[in-house]
Amino acid sequence: MYLFIHLCLYSLLLTLYSCRGDEVVYPTIGTHVTDEVREGGLYVLCEGNMGSNKARLDYMNLHSGEYYANWYGSQNPHQLKELGDVGNDIQAYGGRLYAVINCSHKVEVMDRQARHIGQVDIPNCRYLAFKGNKAYVSAYVGSVATPEMLGSVFEVDTATLEITREVKVGHQPDEICIVGETLYAVNSGGYFTNRHDSTVSVIELGGFTETKKITVGSNPQRIRADQSGKLWVCTEQGIAIIEEERVTRRIDAKASNISIYGSTAYIIDSESHLLRAFSTIDFTEQEQHIDISGYEHPYGLLATNDVIYITDAKNYVSSGVLHCYGYDGKEHWSARTGDIPGHLCRVSGAYELHPDTTKPDSTKTCSPYISRVYEYMPAMGQFVNVLPKYEEGDDAEAMCRKCEQAIANNAGGMICLGGWGGYITFGFDHTVENKEGYDLRILGNAFLMSGNETYGSSEPGIVLVSRDENKNGLPDDEWYELKGSLYDNPATKHHVSKTYTRESDTIRNPFHQQPYYPQWIEAESITFTGALLPPTTENISGQNVQRILDFGYADNKPNSDKEGTSFDISWAVDADGQSVSLPCIDFVRIYTAVDEAYEGTGELSTEVSGAIDLHME
Amino acid sequence: MALSAHSVIAESETERDSLYSDFRIEEVEVTARSLTKDIIVPQRLKGAELERLNALSVADALRYFSGVQLKDYGGVGGIKTINVRSMGSQHTAVYYNGVQLGNAQNGQVDLGRFSLDNMEEIQLFNGQKSDIFQSAREFGAAGNVYLTTRKPYFKPGERAHVHGKMRFGSFGLANPNVGFDVKLTETMSLTFDAEYVYSNGKYPFRYRRVLPNGETAYDTTAVRQNGDVNAVRAELGIHHYYRTTGFWRVHAYNYYSERGVPGAIVNNVWRNGERLWDRNTFVQAQWQDEWFGRWSTRLLTKYANDYTHYKNNDVRLLPADNEYTQQEVYLSLANKVQVFNWWDFSVAYDFQFNDLHRCNLLSDTVPEYFKRYSHWLSAATAFNIKEYLRIQASVLMTAVDNNKPRVTPGLFLSFRPYPVIDLSLNVFYKQSYRYPTFNDLYYTDLGNANLRPELARQHSIEVAYRKATKMYDIAVTASYYYNRVTDKIIAYPKGQQFRWTMLNLGEVKIHGMDAKADMSFNLPLRFVLRGRLNYTYQKAIDVTNPNDTYYCHQIPYIPWHSGSVVVGLDWQSKRGDHYGLNYSFIYVGERYSQQENIIYNYVQPWYTHDMSIYGEWGIKRWWLKANLEINNMLGQDYEVIQNYPMPKQNIRCTLAVRY
């Protein structure tokens, strides 16, 4: 009996000591892997095995030398079942990151810091390419599965994240590549182990139809364009070079991976498991110094201007290793990754972890001041690239952070929206309620002529507000204009658009010699749409001054005029001018509403130096 | 006096003995004979004890054994396999009425498909069965699970029995069972048992994660989809006993099922489209007799025909529609000679033929066909030195196709120092091979025809003690073992992406400790209190290569600590009705889902509390039983295998009648 009691007690103790707890999402902690300081960062997408749900996005901060495992998980702890099952591709484009999660049948769309923005559901999706404001995604199945088991390439609008077009290609398309107005997709035929596909589909982006198929060799999996637009296709019969839509040359090397930088194509030879290099000019093999013969399974590869990154996937079911080499063969550093580190993507910004998740105790105290800048897209202007200052390597995300430094949390700085249309989008750490009377104040740099109430420096900006209706924390919901005093003026033009191009950025005034076109924007042109107010400038005693507008515009009245800088959410109207009643708002957008430029003073541009929730003050 | 199952003498029964013994435990007399006649003490669950457990299938019952890890993919239809002492599920052989259940395709026997309704006894032997009078192949596995179906029992004057059972439960479970036993002649009887199982498999599960500050990261509840199962089982057996020594029996088994494969729950995927159809049919016959009082002969034969159809209906994935047909022909001849009263000697020869047709219904390629011939030859001896020492030694030669025959020895010692105290020390060493399956050898793009068999070496030492009085009966066993598995067959990536192959790469060292106790106490007022405790510690580490990041790490899904507690209270009324309450607790400690013991692979412990309450009534020649089970009472959200959520609270209600 005693024995029985003892055993019972023991088992009771055992259970008490090793109880199941909550499943905690722990934020990643950076591991310092190198003292080397470089620009930007490197994302590492680890595939994880099918069914394990262990696709993992790691981040190497090349500036601090710290490697962050499970960066995505830390940035997005609220994502149900994390990043997903089998990561297959990652690319940065237009201020965002896109990751293909193959067995979760989705493309995950993130900001440059890997914070979730949205997702595009595409069945069995494989690889990405971009052009203009469209993303292209190859997928093993189309939206309608066919008995021939042909795959598709989908076109996705990067603004709405909606599929706009689809084209059927060959069997199990893998990598895709865009040269000019043509998209090339390799048809791997990976489902047919004994008789693979051997073609590359050629798709004209205009009509989005397959115009021809080029036979390249069995089981093509990778396709990359070199500097001169020649395509390198890795097949089981070696590398096929495509020029002018036909195979002009073959290189006798079977490559499991390829990365082209400058005039050199680096490959991982799938037979010898060694790194090899070929000239993209004369296709001869180049001497190279990096020795990867000690790898268990070389896998991911990325050649950059200064270093080359190669991963070792080990036995596929345990952590891999990311190695960084100089081209002289010297290993700079290595870091332990997740399972099957397959896909690498270098970005210009170097990010710190989002504070929300690292802080063990986030006792929230709401601030009356804005806390976050979501978008900063100025139109061309003399203060653009200055307020805030653009530095080499900054991307849109980095510029938003600089705006935050200037104007968020009552910082007292100022940013400039440039000419007509240029805008900024910001928010608070809470939802702003629409109560009786004014709800918001927006600060700028307007001032009055001394001794005059009617004229001064007014560079009016139209204010838009939005509610986070889809609850994703991002300003991608419907916008409502706060109706200002000139809204119903017949001279006000609604629904106007204007395009600025990099080419047209030629005029400089003597005080501002920097480029006026926003330098972090990769696209060659930017188009803005919105309302255009009639000119307000008058020449009074040789000075260009503006008539101060009655109400409802940012940067119109001086900050000392509390009422004149305040706004009521009840002014909101929809696109048709119908009044809407919003109980609260989450985002505010301001854009320059006038299009006037004068010699000497340059263009009128709205400046913003902060905003305040009047109910919190 | 009625007592529990474990108080039944555990001697190596011959079929002859068991004919006259009783399958209704309540009626078994306790004998004062010792349990340590067994040189290898099996763990067993039998008759009423089996019925009292909250268990639907054999797999559920095996959770109450020590040293056993169950892999359970959840739900009535989810695959359930066991791994004995961490050597891998393919090192465990499962025998149905003495003949091994085979699956030459993947070597796994899904124990979730074997119902407890027709089961009389489940035994687990580490190493091998005590009795040397066994077929050659039985010497070949590292762990052995013996399933014995119900045998008919007739009181004088009885000619037939019928029984029926209806079970309902959560997730749409409907499980009727009918059967009958007929006494054809004084020495020949026939039994029939049939069962249908349906479950829609739609159980709710919940995923919840929190941030370090306690704030909820996410919390979602969904319903498991595509987990339905429809299964029919029918069995027919004929037993004939003749003279005083001979007997033969024939057993036919047929099982058919259709089920959904619910699949892993991963981000953005909450439903899976795989379906599976199975048919398992076998007929087995056994004949045995004894000559000159010293020579026993047993002949076993079996023909099995199994059909599996797998289809993936998920249009997003690789379409698959495959049929597999397997056949097995088995023949075994065993002879045992009792040279002296203290010395037995046996020789056995087994032959087996397996084949597999694999047909891809989506392609016009010719079906693939594989076959295999296996031969086993065993010699074993057992002798006793006085009452103190019992020794059993065996040697087995295995020849598969044209591969080099391999020889594996086994040595078992049982030392009993005191004639009056039931204390014994049991030691064994055994080698056994696990042969590559058809999948390992020939699977498209993955198989490797050059595989060698995987070798397990077991060293085990055990102390067993038992004391039985009129008031109580306690049996306690503690064992320590050291196993080593070499040439482990594992999947390893080939040079190219997404290609795998099977290799003899891997070595595992296992240090384990099992402790178990079985006890029953006769309390006043006809109450009986029973307890069953199991605890297992296992350190199973990968020692393949010191350069691996997981070198010396615990192998996947083996917890360091696991155990179970079963406590039951029975009460018998004056007119013989029984009422009982049973509580069981199962604990599986922390473990890792992959080779590396890192936080990303960590799997939390799980433990479930189950409870059942039952009553049994005898009314003239009718016998009635009602049973209500509540499983996972506290509704723990857990996973045995990562991304395969298990059911929360669920209930089962059973009504049984027998005439």
CA atoms of B650 and B629, how far apart (whole Å): 8
Phi-psi label, residue A273: left if phi above 0, alpha if psi -120 to 50, beta otherwise = left
User: What local confidence, expressed as pLDDT, does residue A360 receive?
Assistant: 38
β-bridge pairing A610-613 and A182-187: unpaired
Nearest to B562 by CA among B81, B139, B64: B64
B446 reaches A (C-beta below 8 A): no
User: What local confidence, expressed as pLDDT, does residue B444 receive?
Assistant: 66
In chain B, which stretches have pLDDT less than 50?
Answer: 1-36
Q: Answer whether A84 sits within 8 Å of B519, measured CB to CB.
A: no
Round the CA-based radius of gyration of chain B to a whole number and report it: 25
CA atoms of B551 and B545, how far apart (whole Å): 6
User: What local confidence, expressed as pLDDT, does residue B11 receive?
Assistant: 33
User: What local confidence, expressed as pLDDT, does residue B495 receive?
Assistant: 58
How does pLDDT run across A176-218, given as a tens digit for each residue? 999 999 999 999 998 877 778 999 999 999 999 999 999 999 9
Q: How many C-beta atoms surround the C-beta of residue A321 within 10 A?
A: 18
How does pLDDT run across A292-336, given as a tens digit for each residue? 999 999 999 999 999 999 999 999 999 999 999 999 999 999 999
CA atoms of B182 and A584, how far apart (whole Å): 80
Q: Answer whether B605 sits within 8 Å of A80, measured CB to CB.
A: no
User: What local confidence, expressed as pLDDT, does residue A14 receive?
Assistant: 52
Of A14, A23, A190, the CB nearest to B604: A23
User: What local confidence, expressed as pLDDT, does residue B445 receive?
Assistant: 66
Q: Answer whether A7 sits within 8 Å of B587, measured CB to CB.
A: no
Test mutation, A5, A54, A186, A356, chain B, max B CBs within 10 A? A54
Q: Which residues of A touch B473 (CB under 8 A)?
A: none
User: What local confidence, expressed as pLDDT, does residue A543 receive?
Assistant: 79
Of B215, B316, B590, the CB nearest to A18: B590
Q: Scanning every residue of chain A, which has its alpha carbon at the shortest distance from the alpha carbon of B365?
A: A194
CA atoms of A297 and A272, how far apart (whole Å): 11
Q: Scanning every residue of chain B, which has its alpha carbon at the shortest distance from the alpha carbon of A124?
A: B316
B587 reaches A (C-beta below 8 A): yes
| Degrees, nearest 5: CA angle B508-B513-B518 | 140
Q: Scanning every residue of chain A, which has its alpha carbon at the shortest distance from the alpha carbon of B262?
A: A51
Q: Which tokens hold the place of B605?
A: 């412990």
Q: How many C-beta atoms surround the C-beta of residue B161 within 10 A?
A: 20
Nearest to A370 by CA among A331, A412, A308, A399: A412
CA atoms of B86 and A387, how far apart (whole Å): 66
- Mean pLDDT across chain A, nearest whole number? 89
User: What local confidence, expressed as pLDDT, does residue A440 receive?
Assistant: 92
Query: Which domains, ranges and CATH numbers included, belong to chain A?
Result: 33-352 (2.130.10.10), 417-604 (no CATH)
Is the distance from CB of A288 to CB of A266 less than 8 angstroms?
yes
Q: If you count residue pairs, one on A and one on B, with CB atoms under 8 Å apart, how many are there?
A: 180
Q: Scanning every residue of chain A, which has its alpha carbon at the shortest distance from the alpha carbon of B567?
A: A8
DSSP letter string over B570-594? EEE-TTS-EEEEEEEEEEE--EESS
Q: Which residues of B touch A316 (CB under 8 A)?
A: 493, 500
B31 to chain A, closest Cα gap in Å: 22
Q: Which tokens hold the place of A95?
A: 């201020």
SS3 state at B457: strand
CA distances from A427 to A175, A465, A587, A611 (A): 39, 10, 5, 9
CA atoms of B6 and B46, how far apart (whole Å): 8
Residue type at position A48 = G
User: What local confidence, expressed as pLDDT, does residue B214 receive?
Assistant: 82
Phi, psi of A377 (to 5 degrees): -135, 80
Within 8 A by CB and 6+ apart from A465, the residues are A479, A480, A482, A569, A572, A582, A585, A587, A588, A589
User: What local confidence, expressed as pLDDT, does residue A472 receive?
Assistant: 79
User: What local confidence, expressed as pLDDT, does residue A364 receive?
Assistant: 46
The lowest-confidence range among A398-412, A432-446, A561-575, B464-478 is A398-412
Q: What is the largest CA-CA distance in chain B?
A: 79
CA atoms of A547 and A452, how far apart (whole Å): 10
Q: Answer whether B493 sits within 8 Å of A145, measured CB to CB.
A: no
How does pLDDT run across A252-265, given as a tens digit for each residue? 999 999 999 999 99
Q: Which tokens hold the place of A455?
A: 């004229």
Q: Which residues of A touch B215 (CB under 8 A)?
A: 362
pLDDT at A359 over 70: no
Question: Which of B75 and A440 is assigned the larger pLDDT?
Answer: A440
Q: Let me know how long chain A is.
A: 617
Is the distance from CB of A464 to CB of A552 less than 8 angstroms?
no
Q: Which residues of A touch B593 (CB under 8 A)?
A: 52
DSSP letter string over B255-273? EEEEEEE----BTTB----
Q: Which tokens hold the place of A417?
A: 């929206």
Q: Scanning every residue of chain B, which has its alpha carbon at the shortest distance from the alpha carbon of A272?
A: B495
Q: Give me the interface pTM, i.e. the ipTM.
A: 0.89
Omega prior to A355 cis, within 30 of 0:
no
CA distances from B262 to B14, B109, B196, B274, B275 (A): 43, 19, 21, 7, 9
SS3 state at B55: coil
Of B212, B495, B595, the CB nearest to A270: B495
Confidence tier at A479 by pLDDT (50, 70, 90): very high
Q: Answer whether B264 sits within 8 Å of A1, measured CB to CB.
A: no
Test mutation, B64, B211, B550, B642, chain A, max A CBs within 10 A? B211
pLDDT at A355 over 50: no
Interval A53-82 mean pLDDT: 93
B339 reaches A (C-beta below 8 A): no
Test mutation, A15, A357, A362, chain B, max B CBs within 10 A? A15
Is the distance from CB of A25 to CB of A77 less than 8 angstroms?
yes
Tracing tokens 């008058």 back to the chain, one arrives at: A538
CA atoms of B267 and B643, how far apart (whole Å): 10
- Give the dihedral sign, CA A380/A386/A391/A394: negative
Q: Answer whether B266 sits within 8 Å of A14, measured CB to CB.
A: no
Phi-psi label, residue B268: left if phi above 0, alpha if psi -120 to 50, beta otherwise = left
Q: Which residues lie across from A97 on neighbouring strands?
A: A92, A110
Question: Which of A536 and B485 is assigned the larger pLDDT?
Answer: B485
CA atoms of B66 and B83, how far apart (whole Å): 11
Is the distance from CB of A151 to CB of A170 less than 8 angstroms?
yes
Q: Which tokens hold the place of A191?
A: 């489902």
pLDDT at A81 over 70: yes
Question: Which of A95 and A219 is assigned the larger pLDDT?
Answer: A219
